[in-house]
């Protein structure tokens, strides 16, 4: 059975993250979760999360679900690249998103969450859509929702149609031709260690010359911004008067009044252009004349990340066939 679900920005001012409604258990408990191709744990705020760490989030209570089963002796603990993290124990239960149901999905219940999760009341947990090799459940790693659902889908794919400051969609099992223009360019995916890793064929700043290059990076719906090699972001921000890479603000900032160039990245023989407006990410604080860039250096990360700033400029196909591929189309 195929499905389609909304990807809703959690903040109307800028696209920090997107959440998608899911139901867990019997009777169904509805939570809004961050679908994240950059990790592979499905975890939720729960009745096991200390009240001091819950601030407005909806919680999953397995004890109120007649279909919940404790996965005895299993625990999990995850640390994300931005330093946030969570840990807890594991149940299996019915899990439905956009009409696609997995009857025995591993649902990781949080017994601890870091402050950055406590502080974001609109995110009630995560659904990892990376490869299941990254799952942190011990002693037996669990399968992602997509890996469990794959065999019931018409096609082993899901697509991301994220939008700038608007609601987009995740589709499961089919490719909606009305959501993109032209052709989809498919690229090989490196599945080790478990991210959707692909190689971009280069970049251009604004209307400037295209620079052929091999930029290996991950397509990560769980990361807000896009982090690329220093030489790429330096040539981009070099075109913006007053832009500086600020230690104080932790990245490239620029005068909000600046006219930014667009940014184009190669996908095989094709390319995707990120409009300047997506790269004018946000004012440092409400009303500030200083703005934070959506394109940042990856040099301190050790990995290039095509986050939401890039993904929302395209229609992206995550093809879970063997071998997996990733498809990019304009829209
Ligand atoms: O952890 C990262 C990569 C990152 C972002 C920003 C700075 C350094 C590294 N993204 N991510 C992917 N899924 C996530 C889930 C929660 C938090 C971050 C998440």
Atom of ligand 1 nearest to the CA of 39: 13
232: helix, strand or coil: helix
- Distance between CA 189 and CA 277 in Å, rounded? 29
* Token duo for residue 83: 């330093």
Q: How far is the CA of 54 from the centre of ligand 1 (A)?
A: 20
Give residue-wise pLDDT tens across range 103-145. Answer: 999 999 999 999 999 999 999 999 999 999 999 999 999 999 9
> Ligand 1, atom 3: nearest CA belongs to which residue?
81
Look-up: residue for tokens 């934070």?
292
Atom of ligand 1 nearest to the CA of 81: 1
Q: How far is the CA of 63 from the centre of ligand 1 (A)?
A: 31
Ligand 1 — pocket residues by CB below 6 A? 36, 38-39, 80-82, 84, 126, 220, 222-223, 301, 305
- Above pLDDT 90, what percent of the chain? 99
162: helix, strand or coil: strand
Give residue-wise pLDDT tens across range 235-285. Answer: 999 999 999 999 999 999 999 999 999 999 999 999 999 999 999 999 999
Catalytic entry in 15, 147, 161, 220 = 220
Catalytic entry in 36, 41, 161, 171 = 36
pLDDT at 139: 98
Please indicate, yes or no, whether the overall pTM of this predicted structure exceeds 0.95: yes
Nearest CA among 171, 24, 18 for reference residue 98: 171
């Amino acid at each position: 059975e195929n499905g389609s679900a909304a990807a809703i920005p959690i903040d109307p001012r800028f696209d920090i993250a997107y959440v998608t409604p899911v139901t867990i258990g019997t009777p169904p408990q509805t939570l809004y979760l961050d679908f994240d191709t950059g990790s592979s744990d499905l975890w939720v705020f729960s009745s096991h999360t200390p009240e001091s760490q819950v601030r407005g989030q909806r919680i999953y209570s397995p004890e109120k679900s007649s279909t919940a089963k404790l996965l005895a002796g299993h625990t999990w603990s995850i640390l994300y690249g931005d330093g946030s993290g969570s840990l807890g124990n594991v149940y299996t239960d019915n899990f439905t998103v956009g009409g696609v149901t997995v009857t025995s999905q591993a649902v990781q219940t949080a017994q601890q969450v870091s402050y950055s999760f406590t502080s974001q009341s609109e995110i009630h947990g995560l659904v990892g859509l990376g490869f299941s090799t990254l799952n942190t459940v011990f002693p037996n790693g669990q399968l992602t929702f997509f890996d469990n659902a794959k065999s019931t889908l018409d096609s082993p794919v899901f697509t991301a149609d994220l939008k700038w400051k608007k609601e987009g969609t995740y589709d499961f099992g089919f490719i909606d031709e009305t959501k993109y223009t032209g052709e989809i360019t498919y690229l090989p995916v490196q599945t080790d260690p478990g991210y959707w890793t692909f190689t971009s064929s280069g970049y251009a700043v604004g209307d400037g010359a295209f620079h052929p290059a091999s930029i290996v990076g991950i397509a990560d719906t769980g990361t807000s911004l896009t982090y690329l090699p220093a030489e790429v972001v330096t040539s981009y921000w070099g075109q913006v008067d007053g832009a500086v890479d600020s230690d104080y603000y932790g990245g490239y900032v620029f005068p909000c009044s600046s006219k930014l160039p667009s940014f184009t990245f190669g996908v095989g023989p094709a390319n995707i252009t990120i409009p300047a407006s997506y790269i004018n990410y946000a004012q440092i604080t409400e009303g500030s004349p200083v703005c934070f860039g959506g394109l940042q250096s990856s040099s301190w990360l050790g990995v290039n990340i095509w986050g939401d700033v890039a993904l929302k400029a395209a229609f992206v196909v995550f093809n879970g066939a063997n071998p997996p591929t990733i498809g990019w189309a304009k829209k």
